Amino acid sequence: MRKPVWRPPTECRSSGFFSETIMKTRHFLSLFDLTPTELQWVLQRARELKVLRQQGGHYAPLPGKVLGMIFEKASTRTRVSFEAGMAQLGGSAIFLSPHDTQLGRGEPIEDTARVLSGMVDLVMIRTFEHARVERFAAHSTVPVINGLTDYNHPCQLLADLQTFIEHRGDIRGRTVAWIGDGNNMCNSYLKAAIQCDFQLRIAVAPGYEPNAELLKQAAGRVILLRDPLAAARDADLVATDVWSSMGKEAQQQRRARDFAGYRVTAEIMAQAKPDAIFLHCLPAHRGEEVGAEVIDGPQSRVWDEAENRLHAQKALMEFLLLGEAAPVA
């Protein structure tokens, strides 16, 4: 069977795009760091790499490459998917936390960026303030990937988009319902709506709205609602996240009261299209933001979504380091 081959669109090959642009240091701090066309390349490549792995194929285009992973926020899926992904591509990954680096002792992040740039080929950061990732990238000579900040979570959106495409096809022109907190995931869905041209309905409790600037940018593609049933009506995708994100645990009781009417239940899913899917970036709290009958039900695709973190990030790392990848051997 002929293996998948990664090639850029004809217009980019003929324009010299890859020689002039891709070979420069590219960062992925937001979905906006990829053009809509580039985003589609990465999503297509992720599906190709997934098929290759399912078929038992071996593809290691990054021998000797090293990924530095800075975790100021703990994670299961982010760490395993990046570390396993880099190993499968032929490289290696180094786990770094504030407890075992000078970041935990107050070293400026700009200095850390300069140092790591000379030792690794790629850096992934998972942290709290988005400004920290931006400052790191500004002083890094190697690509920097945002593994999550309080502002957005672009790697998760790559997996979410891949999952929808796998199960329901092109997301352009579709309707997505976001129900719950207007958090970093909600902000990321706003960016995805702009990049992928779908309609987004956001049902959020008063005082928990997503980023105001992103709402303005997504005007014409987004509707802000208070009623989750209305948001889910005829939706192709229903998504949610925990009510109290990491770092906001002290607000858990208040948030539980404020979001009491925003749990994704079977009643809400019944408002969506019969073939709608449900996504959750995990970890999930059954009985809080989602009912067990939904996340463990027939419309749930959360386990595919979790696995797709691996494939989407492999495609992203390959893209950032190689641009036009070599044929899969």
What is the DSSP annotation of 133-184?
HHHHHHT-SS-EEEEE-SS--HHHHHHHHHHHHHHH---TT-EEEEES--SH
Task: State whether 284 and 318 are in the same domain.
Answer: no
Selection from 13-27, 156-170, 238-252 with the highest mean pLDDT:
156-170
Tokens 């080929």 -> residue? 121
Cβ contact 206:146 at 8 Å: no
Tell me the average pLDDT across 292-317. 98
Question: Are 58 and 18 found together in one domain?
Answer: yes
Neighbours of 295 (CB within 10 A): 21
Supply the CATH number for residue 72's domain. 3.40.50.1370
- What's the rounded mean pLDDT across residues 174-190? 98
Active site residue 27: no
- Of the candidates 77, 121, 150, 156, the residue annotated as catalytic is 156
Q: 273 and 182 in one domain?
A: yes
257 and 272 in a common domain: yes
Residues 167, 139 share a domain: no
Confidence (pLDDT) at 101: 74
Give me the percent of the chain exceeding a pLDDT of 90: 84
Catalytically annotated residue among 130, 174, 309, 311: 309
Do residues 124 and 198 share a domain?
no
- Report the alpha-carbon distance of residue 300 to residue 328 in Å, rounded: 32
- Whole-number average pLDDT of the chain: 91
In a domain, 328, yes or no: no
In tens, the pLDDT along 195-216 reads 999 999 999 999 999 999 999 9
Same domain (yes/no): 121, 178: no
Q: What are the tokens at 61?
A: 């285009």
- Structural domain includes residue 286: yes
Arithmetic mean of pLDDT, 293-322:
98
Count of alpha carbons within 13 angstroms of residue 40, beta-carbon side = 12
Q: Which residues contact 135 (CB under 8 A, 6 or more apart)?
A: 109, 110, 113
CA 202 to centroid of chain Cα atoms: 18
Residue 309 annotated as catalytic: yes
pLDDT of residue 324: 59
The answer to whether residue 228 is domain-embedded is: yes
Whether 127 and 70 have beta carbons less than 8 Å apart is answered as: yes
Q: Residue 12's pLDDT is what?
A: 46
303 is a domain residue: no
Q: Is 126 a catalytic residue?
A: yes
In a domain, 38, yes or no: yes
Amino acid 1: pLDDT: 43
Are the CB atoms for 289 and 243 separated by under 8 Å?
A: yes
Residues 142 and 197 in one domain: no
Question: How do residues 230-241 score in pLDDT, each as one tens digit?
Answer: 999 999 999 999
For 110-148, what is each residue's pLDDT tens digit?
999 999 999 999 999 999 999 999 999 999 999 999 999
Residue 99 exposed, middle or buried by CB count within 10 Å (0-12, 13-18, 19+): exposed
Given pLDDT bands bounded at 50, 70 and 90, which one contains residue 244? Answer: confident
Spot the catalytic one: 27, 130, 153, 263.
Answer: 153
- Residue 2 scores a pLDDT above 70: no
Helix (H, G, I), strand (E, B) or coil at 313: helix
Whole-number pLDDT of residue 10: 45
Better pLDDT: 101 or 195: 195
Catalytically annotated residue among 45, 121, 241, 255 = 241
Residues 220 and 141 occupy one common structural domain:
no
Active site residue 255: no
Average pLDDT over residues 44-73: 97
Clarify whether 254 is annotated catalytic. Answer: no
Q: What is the pLDDT of residues 21-31, one digit of tens each?
A: 445 899 999 99
Number of folded domains in the chain?
2
Q: How confident is the model at residue 19 (pLDDT cuts 50, 70, 90)?
A: very low
**Distance in angstroms (rounded) separating the CA atoms of residues 78 and 155:** 9
pLDDT at 221: 98
Same domain, 61 and 192: no
Q: How confident is the model at residue 267 (pLDDT cuts 50, 70, 90)?
A: very high
pLDDT at residue 328, rounded to an integer: 54
Residue 105 sits in the same domain as residue 196:
no
- Quote the tokens at residue 286: 């059954």
Domain coverage including residue 41:
10-150+309-322
- The Cα–Cα gap between 327 and 329 comes to 6
Q: How confident is the model at residue 7 (pLDDT cuts 50, 70, 90)?
A: low
SS3 199: strand
Q: Is residue 3 part of a domain?
A: no
Residue 145: its pLDDT value, please?
Answer: 98
Q: At how many degrees (to 10) do helices 302-322 and 154-168 cross?
A: 120
Out of 27, 45, 77, 126, pick the active-site residue: 126
In a domain, 235, yes or no: yes
- Residue 227 shares a structural domain with residue 241: yes
pLDDT bin (cut points 50, 70, 90) of residue 329 is very low
Whole-number pLDDT of residue 209: 98
The active-site residue, picked from 174, 263, 281, 301, is 281
Q: Does residue 327 lie in a domain region?
A: no
Buried b (16+ CB within 10 A) or exposed e, 217-254: bbeebbeebeebbebbbebbbbbbbbbbbeeeeeeeee
Half-sphere exposure of 168 (CA within 13 A, CB side): 24
Confirm whether 241 is a catalytic residue: yes
- Summarised one tens digit per residue, pLDDT across range 306-316 is 999 999 999 99
